[in-house]
Chains A and B, each alone.
Chain A
Amino acid sequence: RKEVEQDPGPFNVPEGATVAFNCTYSNSASQSFFWYRQDCRKEPKLLMSVYSSGNEDGRFTAQLNRASQYISLLIRDSKLSDSATYLCVVEPSRAGSYQLTFGKGTKLSVIP
């Protein structure tokens, strides 16, 4: 089983749609979880951290289910500018390592 698995997509959605991305991770001892956004041929940029209680930032909502080792990202009212690849990222439990493990990403295309 891959360390971090994501639905590769692509997801093609119309403007204004709601879209959800899923991610599973294999290391049950993982401590920190993130969603990053990567535009074509650019570096990844942190979108939001994911907390056990769930968290929301504007149109974006992230959820974490530790029991199922599952992370989700919900985007409401999609904008054209949301088109990008969304990376699920996990920090393993190795104390002090601060290393990140990236999923392959889910590509989103928001269509006018």
Chain B
Amino acid sequence: GAVVSQHPSWVICKSGTSVKIECRSLDFQATTMFWYRQFPKQSLMLMATSNEGSKATYEQGVEKDKFLINHASLTLSTLTVTSAHPEDSSFYICSARDAGISSYNEQFFGPGTRLTVL
């Protein structure tokens, strides 16, 4: 089956630092990847849609200058949380859609990255 990896699986950082999270599709090509954030006991909230070779589309209320997304290849998207603050502490999950199956809309999720900002 399709596998999506994320790195790192968890990270603790000081307030004001930047953190980069990688999302990779291991055995398929993904023209579209999605970044979600989940706070405790809350639903996954879509932050942005990452499109290979073009700018990401951000959901309302998500600061594009704070959450930088780069989707430079068909298998890799990165999310950089710039100048992280404690309120950015959350579970960040990416998902990817298999570009080779145009009619099938299943998304494959990465294992998530737990970010704690001190």
> Which residues of A are interface residues toward B (Cβ below 8 A)?
4, 32, 41-46, 49, 87, 91, 97-105
Contacts and interface: CB of A to CB of B under 8 A. Distances in A.
B42 interface: yes
Nearest to B106: A46
A87 B43 contact: yes
Contacts of A42: 111-112
Interface string B8-49: 000000000000000000000000101010000111111001
Contact of A97 (B42, B49, B114): B49
A33 to B, nearest CB: 11
B107 interface: yes
A104 B43 contact: yes
A43 B111 contact: yes
A102 B38 CA distance: 11
Contacts of A45: 109
B105 interface: yes
A103 B111 CA distance: 19
A100 B107 CA distance: 9
Interface of B: 32, 34, 36, 41-46, 49, 91, 93, 95, 97, 105-107, 109-112, 114
Contacts of B32: 98
Nearest to B49: A99
Given A43-B111, A44-B109, A102 B49 contact: no
A1 B109 CA distance: 27
A105 B39 CA distance: 13
Given A97-B49, A98-B32, A99-B34, A43 B43 contact: no
Contact of B105 (A98, A101, A104, A105): A98
A100 B91 CA distance: 17
B106 A43 contact: no
Given A43-B93, A99-B46, A104-B43, A32 B111 contact: no
Contacts of A98: 32, 97, 105, 107
A101 B34 CA distance: 12
Contacts of B36: 102
A110 to B, nearest CB: 20
